[in-house]
Amino acid sequence: MTQTHDLSATRMAAAVRTGEVSPVELADHYLARIERLNEQVGAYATVTAERAREEARQAEKAVMDAADPADLPPLHGVPIPIKDLNMVNGVRVTLGSGVYSDLTGFADDNVVTLLRQAGSVLLGKTTTPEFGLPCYTEGAVAPPARTPWDLSRSAGGSSGGAAAAVASGLAPIAQGSDGGGSIRIPSSVCGLFGIKPTRGRVSQGPVVPDLFGLSTNGPIARTVRDAALLLDVMAGHMPGDLYAAPPVEGTFASHAERPPGRLRIARSMEPAVPGAEVHPDCVAAYEAASELLEELGHEVVELPRVLGPELVPHFEMLWGVMATITPVADESEHLLQPLTRWLRARGEATTAPQLFQAHAALQGALRAAFPVMDEFDAILHPTLAQPPAPIGYFHDQEPAENFARQERFTPFTAPYNISGQPAVNVPLYWTSDAETSGLPIGVMLAGRLGGEGTLISLSAQLEEARPWIGRKPAIWTA
């Protein structure tokens, strides 16, 4: 029996316009599921039930009053949550930290403004780790975000709550952000499709600076078409943004309907992080994806080493400095998580010359790497080096070991934050674990700068060849 949350966001938006589905029914359905199931999966830090119902009533009235419902905005009446790193005016924003547990948003982030203009209904704020720094979502503000495929395991981070919500049927689609893998990591461990767009494609403003250009907003979804639709809504350069992405021909949604043609695809399973070992399940997913790409007619070749372990210390330096950007009063320092305090101490000990030298080293490496990478239409990697990690695997360690484990878990994602290239997680593979429904193991495809359209076309082809929409965790039918 089809349930409301079985609908894709694209189908849901069409059903709202035709009157087949009511925005009020949608909001009530998701709010009821959140009330029943959120404590199990840790998807939401804040639920905006009253606001969601009011926005849904307004959306329903707009459908009835419209001369032509086809003219309504693309996500009219569709419920969408916002990550708790992003500010929504008048709504609690914690940044995943006990330091900000009582802060109310005083502005809308640009991406929030665009989602509201697209007609979406705000369900609430999804959980994130403190300041979005770790690759898992555990802390003092909300219950841990868990993958619904095995509730003893983490949903990843830092968009862990967003992925847990979509994978559990607590939201049809979600906004996330990615500074070192934070969309692709949770998408992989939750069995979802996620896009980290090209640097400058989606605005970080007006409050959050984009000084290093590592982080960007992006979509997390169950289908390629849903993610492409959400990216169309989120994309846009705003005054004051330091970066601007190359233009794209047509809409991202239109690329989901186009065959990609025969592509030249490089692949690499060589991690940039020293000591990282790729788990057999991740190897199996990578090899299966390689075989499928060849079956679909693409040329698949080995990628020469372009970005190596010598870059890791430079990225670590930037990450520590980024941890210092969020202001914390001296009297509130004790409320920070141990990992955050450790990272901030490293950042505060970094001198300006050291920071500029790290930037220069990364730019020099990219100048040599881009001519090699640009020879290919896409590059295939495992998304992660290990299957979904148990709750506490990172968080229960001392900070230095915690951070080292995170690096070994995610050795493939951060290079594309450094380069600014677009990258996606594609959920093509599940383990045959007899004790669970199988654990999702994603693969990552990266593209040229501005190449989201190619990645979307290729991902849609993979989705058609190996559909994953029918795979649902047990909690889906709860």
Q: pLDDT by residue for the chain (478 residues), tens digit each? A: 589 999 999 999 999 999 999 999 999 999 999 999 999 999 999 999 999 999 999 999 999 999 999 999 999 999 999 999 999 999 999 999 999 999 999 999 999 999 999 999 999 999 999 999 999 999 999 999 999 999 999 999 999 999 999 999 999 999 999 999 999 999 999 999 999 999 999 999 999 888 899 999 999 999 999 999 999 999 999 999 999 999 999 999 999 999 999 999 999 999 999 999 999 999 999 999 999 999 999 999 999 999 999 999 999 999 999 999 999 999 999 999 999 999 999 999 999 999 999 999 999 999 999 999 999 999 999 999 999 999 999 999 999 999 999 999 999 999 999 999 999 999 999 998 655 569 999 999 999 999 999 999 999 999 999 999 999 999 999 8
**430 phi, psi to nearest 5 deg:** -130, 145
Using DSSP, state whether 429 is helix, strand or coil.
strand
How many residues are listed for the chain in this entry?
478
| pTM confidence score | 0.98
Give the active site residue among 83, 125, 196, 472: 83
Known active-site residue 168: no
Starting at the earlier edge strand, list the strands of the sheet with 299-302: 173-178, 216-221, 193-196, 423-430, 440-447, 378-382, 264-267, 299-302
Q: Contacts for 359-364 with beta carbons within 8 Å, 24 or more apart? A: 359/314, 359/318, 361/311, 361/314, 362/311, 362/314, 362/315, 362/318, 362/418
Peptide bond before residue 158 is cis, with ω within 30 degrees of 0: yes
Distance CA 366, CA 306 (A): 8
Distance CA 32, CA 30 (A): 5
226-250 b/e (C-beta count within 10 Å ≥ 16 → b): bbbbbbbbbbeeeeebeeebeebee
Known active-site residue 97: no
Alpha helices for 323-438 (secondary structure H): 338-348, 352-373, 399-409, 415-419
Known active-site residue 61: no
**If you ran DSSP here, which 8-state letter would residue 123 be given?**
E
Give the active site residue among 22, 158, 168, 215: 158
Cα 260 to Cα 174, 246, 456, distances in angstroms: 26, 19, 9
Gyration radius of the chain's alpha carbons: 21
Beta strands in 268-358 (DSSP E): 299-302
Give the active site residue among 22, 154, 159, 182: 182
**360 phi, psi to nearest 5 deg:** -65, -40
- For the chain, the maximum distance between any two Cα atoms, rounded to a whole number of angstroms, is 62
